[in-house]
Chains A and B, each alone.
Chain A
Amino acid sequence: MIRIIGLGSPFGDDRVGWHVIELLQGRLDAQVDLVTLDRPGAAMINWMAGVQRLVIIDALASGQPPGHIARLTAADLDSQTGGTSSHQLDLAQTFELACALDCLPDQVEIYGIEIDTLQSAELSRPVMDAAATLARRLAGSFSTAANEPQAAMDSIGV
């Protein structure tokens, strides 16, 4: 099974993970499952059961221009070791825990969209555009529908 998880919150550009999932609704093959979560952590591990390929979409703050799409692997993430709380098991710690429990899917891809602001209720323009770009490319990758342009996922910047 393939599962795509959008992580986010209702606040400004942090909503981008959820927004990409909204854009993907109805555009993918039936075996691709779409999920929105408000945080990584223990609950996310329960969403890994039976999944061979996991795609995570999350907001990113790395100093790149707003709207920049980065494709990452679990190994690229920086874990803050020892600081776990049930409010704050970060994405890297969640993958470490899943790995220790031998339930980390065989393939894990992470797409981070560089965000601009959390102050507005709406997504900023560059982030909204990047969400549409990512959704189009994921739809191309996970859909056999003829009208979706096929795009190589590798073409997304790192």
Chain B
Amino acid sequence: MTKRSVSIHVPALTRVEGEGSLRLRIEHGEIQELALDIFEPPRYFEKFLEGRRHHEVLDTVARICGICPIAYQMSAAQAIEQAFGLDPGPWVRDMRRVFYCGEWLQSHALHVHLLAAPDFLGFDSVVGMAARHPEVVRRGLRLQGLGNALIRLLGGRSVHPVGACVGGFFRAPDAAEVDDMLEQLRAALPDAHDLVLWAAALKLPQDEQAFTCVALRHDTDYPFEQGRIVSDDGLSVPIEQYEDHFIEEHRPHSTALFSLLHGAPYLVGPLARLNLNHDRLPAASLSLLRQTGMTFPSNNMFHSLLARTLEIHVAIVEAIRLLENYRRPVSPQVEVTPRAGIGCGATEAPRGLLWHRYELDDQGIVRAARIVPPTSQNQARIEADLRRSLRQFGLNRPDDKLRLRAETVIRNYDPCISCATHFLKIGVTRR
């Protein structure tokens, strides 16, 4: 055991979304302080929404995140429709799922290739990785571009899309647009297939640990936009009961809130979703998973990368299934009649469960809003993982190795600090 004291401060964590830092103080071989400091300023979106009309909400919440605007729009639409007692019907449900597939595709493809893979292949950045593994990066960019095209099909544009509304969509694509999209999706299946096998062959750190997974679970489908909130320790509740079981608390070092389930940290995101829903995978994705020889549930957090690649495959398979049955409706939206009420929405953003609650008056004006993003929910889990992973990695290792491992652990969660608003840079102090 070392006698030295170590202080590592990573003042600006890279390859994560947004601004945060990590402080680590090791004394006499023990971690005395470990804090994920989130100093990106709070963004007050919930307050901005107060006084806004229901039809302004989707455009507003899309601005919370440039990577996952659809997740924000879908959770909000669901919540407002619930408050108004509105069922937008099966066509809207199916197209929202297709829309969501586009977001998973582009977000997961970006994270796997630009942010995470360089850690596991020994590069500082995707630029260095691209020089040695150009085909891997090209494949990733093709998949990301496909995700953007799918988003444009229903959203009009891929960044902060404008096609969705409360009640459905502003426009239904025509048959030729859908046929063209189907052709692109089918052509991308081999890329998605190869990506999963590539990810399964990566030498990921072996780091088994105990954690609680939380995700939506639907009766029949892999969860995107519907389901009950479930955990692997027995929770199974309708989304309206979220606040009965989950709390958010402030901690002095973070402008993001820390979420706890029954007082303890938990995991949301691709690994949690796959651990809780591997029996809901489409047949082709399940068959591909079996081909890898990997089994889920897994308690190796680094299997998040494999889960992300498998969800890319799921997104393509699911979008093909839904678009093969496409019929252009008479109207892409149902009529919206405001009424006073409270509604909740919960969908699976690429980074995990995204829960919204709105209180609206009889004019459809927002009186109160609450938004719980995935990264806030993962913050306590990330800190718990860091404590355990760094101890297992060896606190006597040199500072730069400790720092890289800490950053790798954090990036594995794909934290979106801007969304959590409420995040990374590392400082290690040793004594």
Tell me which of A86-94, A124-132, A136-144 binds B: A86-94
Query: Is there a chain B Cβ closer than 8 Å to A29's Cβ?
Result: no
Please give the distance in Å from A65's CB to the nearest CB on chain B: 31
Tell me which residues across on chain B come within 8 A of A87, comparing CB atoms: 17-18, 66-67, 418
Please give the distance in Å from A89's CB to the nearest CB on chain B: 7
Contact present for A86 and B145 (CB under 8 Å): no
Q: With A and B bound together, what is the CA distance between A103 and B159 in angstroms? A: 23
Query: Is there a chain B Cβ closer than 8 Å to A85's Cβ?
Result: yes
Query: Is there a chain A Cβ closer than 8 Å to B202's Cβ?
Result: no
Contact bitstring B90-120, A, C-beta under 8 A = 1, else 0: 0000000000000000010011011100000
What secondary structure prevails in chain A residues at the interface with B?
loop
Tell me which residues across on chain A come within 8 A of B126, comparing CB atoms: 84, 97
Query: Is there a chain B Cβ closer than 8 Å to A154's Cβ?
Result: no
Interface residues of B in 297-332 (CB under 8 A from A): none
Chain B residue at minimum C-beta to C-beta distance from A88? B17
Query: Is there a chain A Cβ closer than 8 Å to B148's Cβ?
Result: yes
Partner of A100, one of B14, B66, B131, B158: B131
> Given the known A-B contacts A85-B15, A86-B17, A101-B134, are A43 and B144 also in contact in the complex, defined by CB atoms under 8 Å?
yes
Partner of A82, one of B67, B124, B137: B124
Please give the distance in Å from B249's CB to the nearest CB on chain A: 27
Tell me which residues across on chain A come within 8 A of B17, comparing CB atoms: 85-87
Please give the distance in Å from B416's CB to the nearest CB on chain A: 9
Interface residues of A in 32-91 (CB under 8 A from B): 38-39, 42-43, 45-46, 81-87, 89
Query: Is there a chain A Cβ closer than 8 Å to B185's Cβ?
Result: no
Interface size for chain A: under 10, 10 to 19, 20 to 34, or 35 or more residues?
20 to 34
Q: With A and B bound together, what is the CA distance between A93 and B125 in angstroms? A: 10
Partner of B115, one of A43, A85, A101: A85
Query: Is there a chain B Cβ closer than 8 Å to A102's Cβ?
Result: yes
Q: With A and B bound together, what is the CA distance between A93 and B127 in angstroms? A: 8
Chain B residue at minimum C-beta to C-beta distance from A100? B130
Partner of A83, one of B14, B110, B158, B160: B14
Please give the distance in Å from B55's CB to the nearest CB on chain A: 19
Contact present for A42 and B18 (CB under 8 Å): no
Query: Is there a chain B Cβ closer than 8 Å to A96's Cβ?
Result: yes
Contact present for B418 and A45 (CB under 8 Å): no
Contact present for B127 and A97 (CB under 8 Å): yes
Tell me which residues across on chain A come within 8 A of B115, comparing CB atoms: 84-86
Q: With A and B bound together, what is the CA distance between A118 and B61 in angstroms? A: 22
Tell me which residues across on chain A come within 8 A of B138, comparing CB atoms: 101, 103
Please give the distance in Å from B374's CB to the nearest CB on chain A: 15
Contact present for A89 and B114 (CB under 8 Å): yes
Contact present for A42 and B14 (CB under 8 Å): no
Q: How many A-B residue pairs have CB under 8 A?
A: 75
Query: Is there a chain A Cβ closer than 8 Å to B16's Cβ?
Result: yes
Tell me which residues across on chain A come within 8 A of B67, comparing CB atoms: 86-87
Contact present for A42 and B114 (CB under 8 Å): yes
Tell me which residues across on chain A come within 8 A of B130, comparing CB atoms: 97, 100-101
Query: Is there a chain A Cβ closer than 8 Å to B12's Cβ?
Result: yes
Chain A residue at minimum C-beta to C-beta distance from B113? A42
Q: With A and B bound together, what is the CA distance between A96 and B125 in angstroms? A: 11
Q: With A and B bound together, what is the CA distance between A38 and B157 in angstroms? A: 11
Tell me which residues across on chain B come within 8 A of A97, comparing CB atoms: 126-127, 130, 137
> Given the known A-B contacts A46-B141, A93-B127, are A84 and B114 also in contact in the complex, defined by CB atoms under 8 Å?
yes
Contact present for B141 and A100 (CB under 8 Å): no
Contact present for A42 and B127 (CB under 8 Å): no
Q: With A and B bound together, what is the CA distance between A89 and B17 in angstroms? A: 11
Contact present for A82 and B145 (CB under 8 Å): no
Please give the distance in Å from B351's CB to the nearest CB on chain A: 12
Q: With A and B bound together, what is the CA distance between A148 and B58 in angstroms? A: 43
Contact present for A43 and B418 (CB under 8 Å): no
Q: With A and B bound together, what is the CA distance between A93 and B130 in angstroms? A: 12
Q: With A and B bound together, what is the CA distance between A84 and B148 in angstroms? A: 20
> Given the known A-B contacts A46-B141, A97-B127, A100-B127, are A86 and B134 also in contact in the complex, defined by CB atoms under 8 Å?
no
Contact bitstring B127-141, A, C-beta under 8 A = 1, else 0: 110110010011011
Contact present for A86 and B14 (CB under 8 Å): no
Q: With A and B bound together, what is the CA distance between A46 and B111 in angstroms? A: 17
Please give the distance in Å from A54's CB to the nearest CB on chain B: 16
Residues of A within 8 A of B (CB): 38-39, 42-43, 45-46, 81-87, 89, 93, 96-97, 100-103
* Additional A-B contacts beyond A84-B115, A101-B134 (18; CB < 8 A): A39-B66, A42-B141, A46-B145, A82-B14, A83-B14, A84-B15, A85-B15, A85-B17, A86-B67, A86-B115, A87-B17, A87-B66, A93-B127, A96-B127, A100-B128, A100-B137, A102-B134, A103-B138
Could you give 13 example pairs across A and B, Cβ below 8 Å?
A38-B160, A39-B159, A42-B114, A43-B148, A83-B12, A84-B15, A84-B127, A85-B115, A86-B111, A87-B66, A100-B130, A101-B134, A101-B138
Residues of B within 8 A of A (CB): 12, 14-18, 66-67, 107, 110-111, 113-115, 124-128, 130-131, 134, 137-138, 140-142, 144-145, 148, 158-160, 418
Q: Which 10 A-B pairs have the closest CB atoms?
A: A100-B130, A46-B145, A86-B110, A100-B131, A96-B127, A38-B159, A83-B14, A87-B17, A97-B127, A84-B125
